[in-house]
Amino acid sequence: MTRTSRHAGIVVVVALAGLAAWFGLGRQRAEPEDTESIEPAEESTPPTPPQPPPAPSAQRGEAPAADALVSHPITPDQQKIRRENEVLGIVSDAVDLGDAGKLRMMAKTYREQNFEGAAMIANGYEIIAECLDHPGPISRAPAKYYDDNNRSSILLPYLRRACFHGPE
């Protein structure tokens, strides 16, 4: 017998022994012990299951609220905020992609939608577009003025990235 066939034989024997042990242990757990009785004793009564808590319901004589199933309506102010956030998302993408044309289009949209501070923010979009189209000191001058005079503008991160940290 060769050394390889001897090793193969040992592996097969060990595998078979492992399978036999696994099946043997599995059967012992599945079968009930001899001391346990499968049928309940005639003298004992089965335990009663615990009662579930009562379901919440309306008071007696009261009908459920009619508006309980009605969802909260979206107000025009909420729709306006959603549109403004969509425009800001497009602006962010346009700055990332260096798309000055998209920024100019968003400036026009911002003015048309008459968002709060529309003129100031639309001007900021146009300044950023100029910085993307013509990077350098000429486009940085209006950006610096905007940055100095509109310290609370939501556009400052975009303006600074496009006009002061962009390609020279």
Per-residue pLDDT tens for 56-98? 655 655 655 555 666 778 888 898 889 888 988 888 898 889 8
pLDDT at residue 144, rounded to an integer = 95
153 and 87 co-located in one domain: yes
Q: Domain check: are 90 and 148 in the same one?
A: yes
The pLDDT of residue 124: 92
Spans of the chain, pLDDT less than 70? 1, 3-8, 11, 13, 18-20, 22-47, 49, 52-70, 166-168
Task: Please report whether residue 70 resides in a domain.
Answer: no
Residues 94 and 155 in one domain: yes
Token reading at 36: 């346990």
Structure tokens, 14: 């060990």
Whole-prediction pTM value?
0.53
Q: Answer yes or no: is 67 within a domain.
A: no
Q: At what angle do helices 137-149 and 118-133 cross, to 10 degrees?
A: 160
Please check whether residue 149 lies inside any domain of the structure.
Answer: yes
Question: Would 48 be classed as within a structural domain?
Answer: no
Cα separation of 126 and 11, whole Å?
A: 77
The residue segments making up the domain with residue 134 are 76-163
Q: What percent of the chain has pLDDT over 90?
A: 23
How many domains does the chain fold into?
2
- 24 and 86 in a single domain? The answer is no
At 98, is the secondary structure helix, strand, or coil?
coil
Judge if 81 and 148 occupy the same domain.
yes
- The residue whose two tokens read 């001058």 is 141
Query: What value does the mean pLDDT of the chain take?
Result: 77
